Amino acid sequence: IKGPYDHFMQKEIYEQPETTENVMRGRVDASTNRVVLGGLENWLTELRRARRIIMVASQTSYNSCVAARPIYEELMEIPINVESASDFIDRDCCIFRNDVCIFVSQSGETADTIHALKYCINNGAVTIGVVNSSGSSISRLTDCGVYLNAGPEKGVASTKSYTSQYVALVMIALCLSEDSVSRIERRKEIIQALTLIPNQIKEVLELEPSIIKLCENELEKQETVFFFGRGFQFASALEGASKMKEISYVYSEGILTDDLKRGALSVVDNVLPIIVFATKDAILPKVVSSVEQIMARKGNLIIICNKGDKTWKQKKQPRNIVTLEVPQTVDCLQGLLNVIPLQLISYWLAVKKGIGVDFSRDPAM
Ligand code: F6R
């Protein structure tokens, strides 16, 4: 079943051109610039009337919500909350009848997420499921939903589900904001860019040989790795750090780039690998300025940037900055491409360390 791959995780990473295509199939129409989601059709009036959207999920699924949040805020112009399911159920959150709650889960069976869903149902909210496993508890309990159609995820690490959840959440935002005249051009730009994503993921996968080298030369002996991202890329930093801990057993943190100045800078030295997301968007200049502070401390930088970005090669540094170049897409989708090198890094690091990547020593996974 693994075909030419050694592990399910590697196979599932390589399935992403196809799985991102599958989640859009019959839903994203680039000729009319529309997104039609059959699973939401009967609830569109209630959904478009929402006063607030709350996304609830666990771990990687939570990270996909963080990735999608900024585009919801921009397109829908209502408050958007993202909640980790276990924290959500620890609090007595205020949920109202005009709230729309989106539950995101690969398995559709995560106990905390189901618990949170039942709480929202009892409080009268309209609920949407974004689930991979058809017929699962979350898909049955929610009012309406969008299936990921990503096929079974056998490796313990969620990889293809993350990118499919991300695409599904963006599609929901595009569908719910269809009435907004002021957003027509922005929506068109995103819809056109979505159709290019599967092929762009293929391009990113070609980085594998450089990633193997990076693992051998820079990362294999390391006990800690930091990921820095901000704006659309904060979710990429969180997801990179989760994969690193879960699969490669390397202590890792995903940090808001701007929080560098609030403590993290003090641990920067010329050993600790720091992976920074510096792909092109409106806040790239701020990222560049943070990177310069890391450089001033001779930090061990690995930069994820767009193809052809000469910024980093031109920087005068005592040691070369390693760059991983990914194709450019629209800002709110860039995380779909940026996350692929992280999946490959955590996979190859685990393989080099002899870890059984398709299993985990974390019993909750
Ligand atoms: C991470 C991973 C898990 C899940 C989490 C939620 O790679 O696989 O941490 O993200 O258990 O699972 P679902 O998405 O099934 O609700």
pLDDT in tens, 341-361: 999 999 999 999 999 888 766
Residue with CA closest to ligand 1 atom 10: 60
What number does the ligand 1 atom closest to the CA of 364 have? 11
Q: Are 59 and 111 in contact (CB under 8 A)?
A: no
The answer, yes or no, to whether residue 83 has pLDDT greater than 90, is yes
The answer, yes or no, to whether residue 317 has pLDDT greater than 80, is no
Determine the average pLDDT of the residues in 50-76: 97
Helix (H, G, I), strand (E, B) or coil at 318: coil
pLDDT at residue number 362:
61
What number does the ligand 1 atom closest to the CA of 165 have? 14
For 103, other C-beta atoms within 10 Å of its C-beta total: 28
What's the gap in Å between 42 CA and the centre of ligand 1? 29
| Segment 101-113, tens digit of pLDDT | 999 999 999 999 9
Q: Which of 55, 63, 89, 107 best tests ligand 1's pocket when mutated (most atoms within 8 Å of CB)? A: 107
Q: How confident is the model at residue 319 (pLDDT cuts 50, 70, 90)?
A: low
Averaged pLDDT score across all residues of the chain: 94
Euclidean distance between CA atoms 108 and 129, whole angstroms: 8
Q: Which of 102, 158, 164 best tests ligand 1's pocket when mutated (most atoms within 8 Å of CB)? A: 158
- In sign, the C-alpha dihedral spanning 94, 95, 101, 104 is positive
Q: How confident is the model at residue 9 (pLDDT cuts 50, 70, 90)?
A: very high
Determine the average pLDDT of the residues in 60-75: 97
pTM, two decimals, is: 0.96
pLDDT at residue number 361:
64
Hey, what are 174's tokens? 């595009």
Q: Which of 156, 362, 365 best tests ligand 1's pocket when mutated (most atoms within 8 Å of CB)? A: 365
Residues framing ligand 1 (Cβ under 6 A): 58-61, 105-107, 110, 113, 157-158, 246, 365
Q: How confident is the model at residue 123 (pLDDT cuts 50, 70, 90)?
A: very high
Hey, what are 108's tokens? 């559709």
| Segment 262-307, tens digit of pLDDT | 888 888 888 999 999 999 999 999 999 999 999 988 899 999 999 9
Helix or strand holding residue 105 (H, E): strand 99-105
Residue with CA closest to ligand 1 atom 6: 58
What's the gap in Å between 107 CA and the centre of ligand 1? 8
